[in-house]
Structure formats: C-alpha cells, structure tokens
Amino acid sequence: MSWTLSNIFKAFGGVRPFARALSAAAGRPVAPTTVQGWRSRGRIPAARQADVLAAARVVGIDLGPADFFGAVAHLKPDGPAARNHREPASDRAAPPELLTCAEMAETDRRTIAAGIKGERLMEAAGEGIARLIMERFAPAPVAVLCGPGNNGGDGFVIARHLVRAGWRVRLASLAPVSKLSGDAGINARRWSRLHGRQATVPLTPAILDGAGLVVDALFGAGLVRPLGGVAGNVVAELNRRGLPVVAVDVPSGLDADTGAVAGEAGGGVAARAAFTVTFFRKKPGHILFPGRALCGETRLIDIGIAADVLDAIAPATFENVPALWCGAFPVPGSAAHKYSRGHAVICGGTRMTGAARLAARAAARVGAGLVTIASAPEAIPIYAADRAGQLTTALTARDDLAKYLSDPRRRAVLVGPGYGVGRRTREHARVALTLGKAVCLDADGLTSFADWPSGLFSALAEAGSLDGAAVLTPHEGEFRRLFPDLGEGGRLARARAAAARAGAVVVLKGADTVVAAPDGRAAINANAPPWLATAGSGDVLAGMITGFLAQGVAPFEAAAMAVWIHGAAAERFGPGLVADDLPDLIPRVLRALTASAASGTDT
C-alpha cells in the first residue's frame, strides 16, 4: 500500500495504541500527547522514525524502511487531514498548540542553545510588531511603555522601527536604561545612542498625554503577581482614558496561563488592548476569558523559532481548531452502509421531549447511520412523529434498555437531555457504561449524580476497563455539583482535574469551552458566538458528540470536533439563532470542511 500519515495512524489504531507500541519498541514511555503533536503538525520527527519502524514490527504492521522513509520525505496529512495543511512558508492559520509560560521559556532556551541569539529573536519580534502596527493603524503619536525585562526590550525595538518609518514616538521606561541588562539592555542603549538619553523618560501617567496609540511592552507572559506601583497606576489610567493599545505578547497584568487578571481579587489590573501580538505559539490566556477580551484581536508572528522544538516540549494544550482533529474526522468510504456509520441511542424523557429530539437530529446530521430514541411508551408517538426516519424503542420493563443495548451495533448512548433527575436516569447511565458503550452524559444525566458522584466515577472506571468511552458535558453549575472541591485554579486546570478524577473526557461548557481528557490533553474553543447562549443548544451539542462516538471517533476528538462545528454552525446563522436552527446548519459546516480538504484551503 501507499503509506501516508493518515494510513500510518490508522494502521496503529490511533494515537494511544501508537504511543503504546512506541513505548514498547523504544523501551521508554512515549506520551500520547507527543504522538498527537506529530499528527497535528503533519510530520514525524526524523529522530523518531527508527522507533516508528521498530513499533511497526512489534505490532505486526508491514511498514518497511523504503516505504516509510519515502513517505516521510513529503509527509503531510491526507484525506480529511489535508484541509488544514500548509507548508510553513505559507501557513496563514494559527497552529493548534498553546504553550504555558514555562513551556515558552523552555522554547526560548532551546532556541538560543541551538545557536540563535536572543538579540536576534528580540529584533525579529520588535520589527514584526512595528510592521503590523503600520499596517493596521493610521500614523499617530505613539507612547511606548517599556518594562524592565525582555518585554520592555521588544518595546525599544518597536520604537526604533516606528521612528525610522517617520512615526512620532515617545518612550517611557519603568527602569533606568543603565539598570537594564541582557538583550533588553542592548536595545535600550541602542535607542539612546540613536535618539539621545532624553528620548527615554521615566514611566508616569503623563506619558499618555497626547498619545493616539499606546504600545504596552511593560510585562509579558511571565508576570503572575498583581500589577501594582507605578506600572499599575499607568495601566489603570490607560484603561480610564480608553486609548487604543497594542500589547506585546499579552496585555500587562494578564496571567497568560489562566486568562485571569493577576491578583484581581486584591485589586490587580490588566491593560485592555485592541490588538495583541505574540510569538511562535499562543498561550492559554489568549483564548480563555477574560484574557481573550483583554487581548482584543490576537495575531501570531514568526520570529525564527523552529517548530521542531515542540517535539521535546510535547505541549498538551491546544486551541480547538480543525487541524487538531481533522485526521480523526469520520469520512465514510464508498462501501459504507448505515451500520458501519454507527448506531446512536438517545434516551428520551416524557415531559421535555424537545431536548432528545434536538439531540437525535444533531446525531444524525453529523453522520450517525442510525439514531434511535429510547423512551417510555407514552412519549413514543411524539418522538416517532418528529421526523421521517426517526427510530424509536419503548422502554417498558426495568431491563429493557439493557436488552436493547446488548446489540453490539448500538455503539453510543446519550443520557440526560430532558430525561429527568433521579434514580431511573442514574440506573440507565450506569447500564450503558457497564455494557462498555460509548456514553455521553449531559444535563439530567449529570445532575442525577450530584448527591452520589462516587457512583458515577465507579461506573466510569468499570466502563474504562471494558474499553468503553465517556464524555461528560457540564456547564458551570453542573460542574460545581459534581466536583464541588474544584472551584479554584481557572477553567483549564479545573477541567483537567475533573477529567483525571472521572476517567472521562470533560467538556466544561461556556464562551471558552474547555475539552479535557484524562491523559492531560486539553483543547480550548474560541469560535462560539454569543448567539449560542440559548435554550437547547447544549442538547444539540450532546447529540453531535454522541453521533461522532457512534462512528467510532475517540472521545477527546469526538468532543473537540463537535464543539468546534457547533460554534461554526452558530456563526453561520448569526443573531436570532435558536437551538432548532442548529442541526440543519451542520451540513453547511461539513460541506465547508469537505471543500477545504479538496482544495487545500483553510476553513
């Protein structure tokens, strides 16, 4: 056969089996996040190619050196994965990896150790930001605010390039130029030689007088303490005046790992930017609220850091974009039939029947070959009349659901939307889990365990031992009921902790939905418009996830792709959206994904 990236992953059975085979072959642990990074970036590092060949031999895959090394010379995602692939020189889409402050610092350290001077990186950063400023803003008096570290050094470079282009610039530094060291000191002294010592003034709110644009180069991603003192006063005044701000890396005062204002409870403040420019990869704080709002529009620029450095860092946090999961997107083959595309079962209640109907439509729209609503007999006529092709089954006796799910073709089950809170919902959730089905628990399916979370977690553990898979989709209130002790630390950390405890994928819903897996992977969604804040939209999302699970998509990828498509569908409708609109918008998004795959353009 002709080996491609997609074929190699399929031959190993996916990311986790691939990582296990590599660990066995290499004699050392290989994390699934590392392998996921290879798939996201569309290549396998040269240093790992021999291990992949050895892993193929371990599991009996007929992958020879000539086949493999011929393929990796031009390795890129194929099929559905091709929709977001670009050669590095022409890549217009932001890559999916998000780096913590510690990971970005390690990236810088490794880059400099490889022979690229920090001064060169700073020059590229400052010049790139100055170029974007000149492209985006009309010429205006600029106030550049410089801090005592590398962020401030970037500010000196930005000021130099703006002056060279004829812009009027005033620069204020939090620290005297004589006290600045390293690359920041080099660029501060270069600025002074070119423009005189009087060109740098001490930082005070007066620097804002007469400014039409402000460059915030005070503190970057490394700041975790509250922004106080002179810098805090200047930022507070900057926000009060409402001047347009370009932030370097992140707005000063923002915690780049959590998206929170550092020390906000104790009076901390962060700059409100119209435009933020960061380097190499975004950070979680660019995507999580309130950081996303404080950053304004965020742009990513290349400053000369090679993508290979990510192989050693193995980031586990991603922006939820198609590049993250397109290789796992289920595309039916020419010989597909309804059973090969998966059978989803939706547990439907007797009172709030709209919830299960919305979920069933959504499961069908994302590609499940069959969708059945299982309900008490009195609600069957309502469900059967909902749409042509809607399957139903009546649950009369206590063990009827177990009997119905005994058919192995019924792969995925949704329990919760409109099903009612109580013992019956708990029992049916546990039945589906203990039968090893792929299960999505939403709404009432979660609240029913609020007083007995250990019962849910034990059933999830048993499901894992049976190779079952589960996705929990709480909003903030449901999350607090299931995980009452996980109230601090930011949404990303909380979702990760919950996923690890539950042994299931957790979708913590909100404007910045976080999808977290038990193995530590997490994706933060950024495409959901405010129109999604409408009753029933969560039922549609749960149905979409179940539809993907029914098609055999792994839980993390199923949840991530459903969340993104959910947001993209809402974006296409705009104001006036109600949940009933969403299922019929899904095909438009799927067509766009298919078209981008065929043309090689971004979605």
pLDDT in tens, 480-500: 999 999 988 899 999 999 999
Structure confidence at residue 47 as a pLDDT band (50, 70, 90): low
Q: What is the pLDDT of residue 444?
A: 98
Options 3.30.70.1380, 3.40.50.10260, 1.10.260.40, 3.40.50.720; which CATH number does 101-314 get? Answer: 3.40.50.10260
Structure confidence at residue 87 as a pLDDT band (50, 70, 90): very low
Q: What is the pLDDT of residue 51?
A: 79
Question: Which residues, in sequence order, are CB contacts of 394 under 8 Å at separation 6+?
Answer: 374, 375, 376, 377, 380, 400
Q: Which fold has domain 339-593?
A: UDP-N-acetylmuramoyl-L-alanine:D-glutamate ligase (3.40.1190)
Q: What is the pLDDT of residue 72?
A: 44
DSSP string, 312-366: HH---EEE--HHHHGGG-----TT--TTTT-EEEEEE-SS-HHHHHHHHHHHHHT
Q: What is the mean pLDDT of residues 31-58?
A: 73
567-568-572 Cα angle (round to 5): 115
Q: What is the mean pLDDT of residues 36-57?
A: 72
- Structure tokens given for 480: 């607090």
Question: Which residues, in sequence order, are CB contacts of 432 under 8 Å at separation 6+?
Answer: 401, 405, 413, 415, 439
Write down the H helix ranges in 60-117.
65-72, 101-113
- Structure tokens given for 581: 């609109």
Query: What SS3 state is found at 366?
Result: coil
Query: What SS3 state is found at 553?
Result: coil
**Of 468, 496, 503, 498, the residue nearest 481 (C-alpha):** 498
Q: What is the pLDDT of residue 88?
A: 29
Q: What is the pLDDT of residue 75?
A: 38
Asked if 596 and 84 count as a contact pair (C-beta separation under 8 A), the reply is yes
Q: What is the mean pLDDT of residues 225-240?
A: 96
Q: What is the pLDDT of residue 8?
A: 83
Q: What is the pLDDT of residue 64?
A: 66
Residue 572 has pLDDT above 60, yes or no: yes
Q: What is the mean pLDDT of residues 349-370?
A: 98
Mean pLDDT is highest, among 90-99, 261-270, 293-302, for 293-302
Residue type, 533: A
Query: What SS3 state is found at 505?
Result: strand
Query: What SS3 state is found at 346?
Result: strand
Q: What is the pLDDT of residue 120?
A: 97
Structure confidence at residue 76 as a pLDDT band (50, 70, 90): very low
Asked if 412 and 549 count as a contact pair (C-beta separation under 8 A), the reply is yes
Distance, in Å, from the CA atom of 550 to the CA atom of 339, rounded to the nearest integer, reads: 10
Segments making up each domain of the chain, as ranges: 5-93, 101-314, 339-593
Structure confidence at residue 593 as a pLDDT band (50, 70, 90): confident
Asked if 564 and 557 count as a contact pair (C-beta separation under 8 A), the reply is no
- Structure tokens given for 365: 């729209």
- Where is pLDDT greater, at 20 or 546? 546
With a pLDDT cut of 70, the percent of the chain lying above it is 91
Query: What SS3 state is found at 343?
Result: strand
Q: What is the pLDDT of residue 267?
A: 77
Residue 313 has pLDDT above 80, yes or no: yes
Long-range CB contacts (within 8 A, 24+) of 308-312: 308/45, 309/107, 309/110, 309/111, 310/37, 310/41, 310/97, 310/107, 310/281, 311/34, 311/37, 311/45, 311/47, 311/48, 312/110
Q: What is the pLDDT of residue 80?
A: 32
261 beta partners? 254
Q: What is the CA radius of gyration of the chain?
A: 26
How many Cα neighbours within 13 Å face the side chain of 152? 28
DSSP string, 163-213: HHTT--EEEEESS-GGG--HHHHHHHHHHHHHH-GGGEEE--GGGGTT-SE
- With the C-alpha atoms ordered 490, 495, 496, 500, is the resulting torsion angle positive or negative? positive
Average of per-residue pLDDT values in the chain: 90
Q: What share of the chain is helix, strand, coil (3-state, %, to 5)?
A: 50, 15, 35
Q: What is the pLDDT of residue 223?
A: 84
Q: What is the pLDDT of residue 90?
A: 29
pTM of the entire predicted model: 0.85
Asked if 230 and 218 count as a contact pair (C-beta separation under 8 A), the reply is no
Structure confidence at residue 272 as a pLDDT band (50, 70, 90): very high
pLDDT in tens, 92-141: 356 799 999 999 999 999 999 999 999 999 999 999 999 999 999 999 99
Give the single-character DSSP code of 95. Answer: P
Structure confidence at residue 290 as a pLDDT band (50, 70, 90): very high
Q: What is the pLDDT of residue 162?
A: 98
Distance, in Å, from the CA atom of 478 to the CA atom of 457, rounded to the nearest integer, reads: 15
What per-residue string of b and e applies to 395-409 under the rule 16 or more CB within 10 Å gives b? beeeeebeebbeeee
- Where is pLDDT greater, at 384 or 27? 384
Distance, in Å, from the CA atom of 414 to the CA atom of 432, rounded to the nearest integer, reads: 9
Q: What is the pLDDT of residue 121?
A: 97
- Where is pLDDT greater, at 77 or 332? 332
Mean pLDDT is lowest, of 31-35, 339-343, 505-509, for 31-35
pLDDT in tens, 154-184: 999 999 999 999 999 999 999 999 999 999 9
Strands 97-98 and 317-319: antiparallel
Residue type, 3: W
Q: How many helices (H) and strands (E) does the chain have?
A: 25, 18
Query: Position of tokens 């742009």?
Result: 299
- With the C-alpha atoms ordered 488, 492, 495, 497, is the resulting torsion angle positive or negative? negative
Structure confidence at residue 240 as a pLDDT band (50, 70, 90): very high
Query: Given strand 343-348, what is the order of strands in its sheet?
Result: 97-98, 317-319, 522-524, 514-516, 505-508, 469-472, 438-441, 410-415, 343-348, 370-375, 391-394
Q: What is the pLDDT of residue 95?
A: 77
